[in-house]
Amino acid sequence: MYKLKIIVSTVRPGRKGPLVGHWIAEEAQKQGSFDVEILDLAEIGLPLMNEAIHPIMKQYEHEHTKQWSAKIDEADAFIFVTAEYNYSYPASLKNALEYVMHEWAYKPSGIVSYSAGPFAGVRAVISLKADLINFRNVALFEGVTIPTIGDFINEDGVFVPNDRLTTAATQMLTQLVRWTKGMKAIKEDQ
Ligand SMILES: Cc1cc2nc3c(=O)[nH]c(=O)nc-3n(C[C@H](O)[C@H](O)[C@H](O)COP(=O)(O)O)c2cc1C
């Protein structure tokens, strides 16, 4: 089993992120190859970057950084669940990315994006993919893009996907397993 961390990126009260995060976690569990853990940035509560030494040195001063580093380090793969905030991904995710460096490297990521409007967070995906390169993290082509997120949340506050979203999730997870296997070989060959 590969260790998959699902990162729920938004932190505001009333956010939709956890609903999407729980759905994709269930899909990932069904896939059968992953030991799945949700890392919810609101629960983790990293302060704005407050380490004195560049993360590339891995000389962490604060306990919150050491714990975050350990969680990211043990991962074999990631799924980022991200909304679009002002044509990009949320600052909370940028902050969480920047806390560590080597821990993200030579691992694949799937991205699940959503937004209130029709564009499904695709501009957040473009920004996130560009930034992941800096961490030597490989974002997959396959992803899940959810437009008008409110339309997929039922009266009980549960995310209910349509067939397109379920198919996209399956395709992304199938590729994520393949990339995880391949990237492990690359990581071990450093
Ligand atoms: C600060 C902020 C900025 C936003 N900017 C965009 C945007 O640029 N494009 C878009 O389609 N939706 C935008 N939205 C709408 C969000 O995509 C939508 O509210 C979504 O549910 C936010 O994720 P969350 O509920 O997990 O916080 C924005 C929402 C917030 C709170």
Probe residue for ligand 1, chosen from 7, 38, 41, 86 as the CB with the greatest number of ligand atoms within 8 Å: 86
d(CA 48, CA 182): 34
Q: What is the mean pLDDT of residues 116-134?
A: 97
What is the per-residue pLDDT across 33-79, written as a single tens digit (0 to 9) for each? Answer: 999 999 999 999 999 999 999 999 999 999 999 999 999 999 999 99
Number of domains, the chain? 1
Closest CA to ligand 1's atom 15:
116
Q: What is the CATH number of the domain that holds 107?
A: 3.40.50.360
Separation of CA 89 and ligand 1 centre (Å): 9
In this predicted structure, the answer to whether residue 144 has a pLDDT above a threshold of 80 is yes
Dihedral pair phi/psi, residue 36, rounded to 5°? -100, 135
Closest CA to ligand 1's atom 23:
83
> How would residue 189 be classed by pLDDT, with cut points 50, 70 and 90?
confident
- The two tokens of residue 135 are 């961490």
pTM of the complete model:
0.98
Separation of CA 123 and ligand 1 centre (Å): 11
Bridge pairing between strands 34-40 and 77-83: unpaired
**Cβ within 8 Å of residue 76, ≥6 positions away:** 2, 3, 4, 107, 180, 183, 184
Pocket of ligand 1 (CB under 6 A): 10, 12, 15-17, 83-87, 115-117, 119, 149
Best CA proximity match to 41, nearest among 120, 94, 2, 113: 94
| Residue-number span of the structural domain to which 137 is assigned | 2-188
The 10 Å Cβ neighbour count of residue 119 is 15
In this predicted structure, the answer to whether residue 190 has a pLDDT above a threshold of 90 is no
Beta strands in 9-59, from DSSP E residues, in sequence order = 34-40
What is the per-residue pLDDT across 75-122, written as a single tens digit (0 to 9) for each? Answer: 999 999 999 999 999 999 999 999 999 999 999 999 999 999 999 999
